Amino acid sequence: MLKDSVVKALSDQVNTEYYSAYLYLAMSASADRMGFKGVANWLFVQAREETAHGTHLYQHLLGRGATPFFADIKAPETAYAGIREIFEKVLAHERHVTELINGIASLAVREDDHATYNFIMWYVNEQVEEEASAEEILTKIRFVGDKLDQLYILNTELGARVFTDPFAATAN
């Protein structure tokens, strides 16, 4: 049986993951309007991944006999000056999510909830990858600056990303 504090923290994280999906969809639309279809694709795939995370957390709550709490999902920012700003905000957001996930891991330890700790460690590791990916893309954007030929190459590279459900092997 999950303690109320753990149910609340995991439910809040479900909300955060769905907000993340909205945020990345808004960023994707903005990149698309700027003509960066590859960047838009990368962000759209990221939105799908965040939705999968939210669903996975939700299913974990149900599987542990808990009833998730649901809160409003705030509207994300929709206007961005360019792809550099988008990825600066992606990195900042992923760092925020890392703090939240680490907080859940710490809470699970305090509550002596080894199952939740084991479960959330997947997300701890995922956040390392998420931050590294955002940092790498942002570094490339800073490096190429306004060089259109280099932005074209980066846009093409990001356009090759495809969604792979990280939980497909564990789906019911």
Dig out the tokens for 105 from the structure.
Answer: 């891991």
Nearest alpha-carbon partner for 30 in 12, 17, 42: 42
Q: How many CB atoms lie within 10 A of CB 132?
A: 11
pTM: 0.94
**Domain boundaries defined on the chain:** 4-166
Residue that the structure tokens 């356009």 belong to: 159
pLDDT in tens, 56-114: 999 999 999 999 999 999 999 999 999 999 999 999 999 999 999 999 999 999 999 99
Q: Which CATH class is domain 4-166?
A: mainly alpha
How far is CA 132 from each of CA 92, 126, 135, 137, 138, rounded to the nearest angstrom? Answer: 12, 10, 5, 9, 10
pLDDT in tens, 99-156: 999 999 999 999 999 999 999 999 999 999 999 999 999 999 999 988 888 999 999 9
Tell me the HSE value of 68 on the side-chain side, using a 13 A CA sphere. 18
Q: Which amino acid is at 100?
A: L
Residues 6 or more apart whose Cβ sits within 8 Å of residue 42: 137, 158, 159, 161
